[in-house]
Structure 1
Amino acid sequence: MNSLEFSFAGARLRAMGSGALWWPENDLLCVSDLHLGKSSRVVRRGGPALPPYDNRETLSRLAADLDTTGAKTVVCLGDSFDDLEASETLSDADRLEISALQAGRLWIWIEGNHDPGPVALSGTHLAEWSQDVLVFRHIAEPDAQGEVSGHFHPKVRLNARGRMISRPAFLFDGCRLIMPAYGTYTGGLRSSDTALSQLMRPDARAILTGPQPQLTAMPR
């Protein structure tokens, strides 16, 4: 498995190279900010045409991660769709793919700021959800403990063997864990941005996604 094991709030977790979070003890896979339907939403609002393959690619990676882990619980941590209309106009093929991924699993849709939850799809729809020592919500809250959130799409830029690299990244400290965006067409916010540097504690660390997940101090 392409992942890096780490400890957070007493839980042993694995940051996967794809941007998914795997919690082996609970057979739980968490992904954040899929932003399905972004290409169609951009066109619908008068933006440039993007290749309409983002849903297919994102769902294919999710299917691969589910095959690898055998997860019995899936938490989609908000902004699963780029807006509510994107979930309502999902193609039949994509709808069938999601249904196939959900089969035999507890599937939890957490509400995001882009979508209030894809209510037309099966699964459990919640504002937040707790499991053992962790609480899952879309946007980080003040004074959180054991919180897993998304929303910010964190990215890390650093010098690796003489060249600068930039990758989506997990950020975590003793209180909170912020997930990278999982969607194909999602952008990112540098960890040095004020919104993240003020939110995370001074001892925060980052795990870069990619072929070999890499642990480093969170760049500020």
Structure 2
Amino acid sequence: MSPMRRSPCGGCHLEIHGQAVTARVSGALWLADERTLAAGDLHFEKGSAYGARGQLLPPFDTLATLDRLEAEIAALSPRRLVLMGDSFHDTGAIDRLTAEARTRLRALGERIELVWLAGNHDPSPSVGLPGVVAETLTIGTLNLTHEPHTGLGEGEVAGHLHPVATVKGTGGRVRRRCFLTDGRRMILPAFGAYAGGLNVFDPAFDGLFATPPTALILGDDRIHAVPWTRLSPGR
């Protein structure tokens, strides 16, 4: 895997399949040469979906996720935003958006190029909103898609699996969202406020990497690059 360098934002500069990228502390991926910001698995309106089933969660996840996304846009001024599937928690989520959330999403699409990748939760994500829908998007040597394909998938950047890493230290175990990469492909963490996580030792990750991957763990103000040998399969 290519050497990593610390970025001023606390993220990590590295190369995926020869393409320069920056893993951001927010969990978004920045492709500076293409002025493209990518974020996966926002799961807008997960709170309202759970509320409809009687599992009461504060219904503020969409606005909280938008706050974080807009902060990244303000910091980076991208020309393109790629939302990498499962942007909405289910096919009825767009109808449950508040007027404020709908206005803010429209404003994003009017300011910059907005690409919605289809996910398993939202196969037609942007009905009534600006932007274009695609199954995949090729940027340089990278292929952005929602769900990782089986096999080694060189150059693939995907979401879907919501990777989280557990590290055991002197003070106990710490479990955080993470990027997962071997330098050939990358799995992004879920960006959504209420999105859960899957431990990187889960069988869903088996066979995706040619060599043991590195977890780029999201800290409070920096990313921590942790080798596979230091990760724990426990919670």
- TM-score bracket, normalised by the shorter chain, equals over 0.9
> What stretches of structure 1 of length at least 5 have no aligned partner?
none
Q: Which residue is 2:6 aligned to?
A: none
The 5 Å alignment of 1:121-200 reads 121-143=129-151, 144-160=153-169, 162-200=171-209
Q: Which TM-score applies when normalising by structure 1?
A: 0.94
Q: Which TM-score applies when normalising by structure 2?
A: 0.89
Q: Which residue is 2:62 aligned to?
A: 55
8 Å CA contact retained: 2:40, 2:83: yes
Q: Give the letter aligned to residue 181 of structure 1.
A: A
Q: How many residues align?
A: 219
CA–CA distance in structure 2, aligned partners of residues 168 and 52 of structure 1: 22
Q: Give the letter aligned to residue 83 of structure 1.
A: D
8 Å CA contact retained: 2:108, 2:114: no
Deviation digits for residues 97-151 of structure 1 (CA, Å, limit 9, x no counterpart)? 1122223311100000001122221101011111111111100112422001000
Q: Which deviates more from structure 2 when the two are superposed, residues 158-167 or residues 208-217?
A: 158-167
Instruction: Report how far residue 163 of structure 1 moved.
Output: 3.2
8 Å CA contact retained: 1:108, 1:124: yes
The answer to whether the aligner puts 1:70 opposite 2:81 as a matched pair is no
Coordinate RMSD, CA, aligned: 1.4
Identity %: 33
C-alpha spacing 1:76/1:105, structure 2 compared with 1 (3 Å): same
8 Å CA contact retained: 1:159, 1:165: yes
CA–CA distance in structure 1, aligned partners of residues 61 and 34 of structure 2: 29
CA–CA distance in structure 2, aligned partners of residues 37 and 154 of structure 1: 21
> What stretches of structure 2 of length at least 5 have no aligned partner?
1-8
CA–CA distance in structure 2, aligned partners of residues 123 and 61 of structure 1: 20
C-alpha spacing 1:66/1:161, structure 2 compared with 1 (3 Å): farther
Q: Which residue is 2:115 aligned to?
A: 108
CA–CA distance in structure 2, aligned partners of residues 96 and 2 of structure 1: 31
Instruction: Report how far residue 195 of structure 1 moved.
Output: 1.3
Q: Give the letter aligned to residue 189 of structure 1.
A: L
Instruction: Report how far residue 160 of structure 1 moved.
Output: 4.1
Q: Give the letter aligned to residue 175 of structure 1.
A: R
Q: Which residue is 1:96 aligned to?
A: 103
Q: Give the letter aligned to residue 125 of structure 1.
A: V
The 5 Å alignment of 1:9-48 reads 9-44=17-52, 46-48=53-55
8 Å CA contact retained: 1:154, 1:180: yes
Instruction: Report how far residue 79 of structure 1 moved.
Output: 0.1
